[in-house]
């Protein structure tokens, strides 16, 4: 599969963000773009953000792919239970840190930078040992984006069923 030209270079955004965030923590709030994008775009594009535009996904496909042991993604990381527990834990840590940092842009940005750095370290370790996209199997933002996409499809199917039985008669 040939990678689109943007995806080949989007990993540089992740590296630049991590370096810039260490020097100027307030820039961390920019991470909101990558955090919200999978959820906001999901109703229209599914998880296309994750595959085509996510800087971490690009990093995984361009850099980690070259050094992964290609063992495959362990099934536990794909379970809804694991995804929900991980999402709750990560968002709880995030919320607690934001509570203490609130009111100071530099401190708030540092929370985002720290979260990106920690999750990137997890991503690299799992990506090398198992598969370059292991993190993506339980990425909290991708998980929520997937849920939004499924919800949209359920609503759409429900509306189609009602239309088929004539519930939508004016």
pLDDT(170) > 60? no
Structural contact between residues 127 and 138, judged by C-beta atoms closer than 8 angstroms? no
Average pLDDT of every residue of the chain: 93
pLDDT(156) > 90? no
Global confidence as pTM: 0.87
Q: What tens digit of pLDDT does each residue of 94-145 get?
A: 999 999 999 999 999 999 999 999 999 999 999 999 999 999 999 999 999 9
User: What pLDDT does 60 receive?
Assistant: 98
Q: What tens digit of pLDDT does each residue of 54-67 get?
A: 999 999 999 999 99
């Amino acid at each position: 599969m040939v990678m689109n030209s943007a995806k080949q270079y989007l990993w540089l955004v992740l590296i630049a963000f991590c370096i810039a965030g260490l020097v100027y923590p307030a820039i961390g709030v920019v991470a909101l773009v990558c955090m919200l994008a999978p959820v906001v775009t999901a109703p229209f594009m599914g998880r296309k953000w994750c595959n085509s535009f996510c800087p971490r996904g690009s990093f995984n496909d361009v850099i980690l792919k070259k050094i992964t042991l290609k063992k495959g993604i362990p099934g536990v990381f794909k379970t809804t239970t694991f995804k929900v527990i991980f999402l709750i834990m990560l968002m709880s840590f995030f919320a607690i840190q934001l509570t203490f940092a609130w009111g100071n842009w530099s401190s708030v940005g540092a929370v985002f930078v720290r979260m990106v750095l920690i999750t990137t370290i997890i991503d690299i370790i799992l990506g090398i040992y198992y598969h370059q996209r292991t993190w993506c199997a339980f990425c909290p933002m991708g998980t929520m984006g997937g849920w939004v996409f499924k919800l949209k499809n359920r609503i759409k199917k429900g509306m189609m069923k009602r239309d088929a039985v004539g519930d939508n008669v004016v």
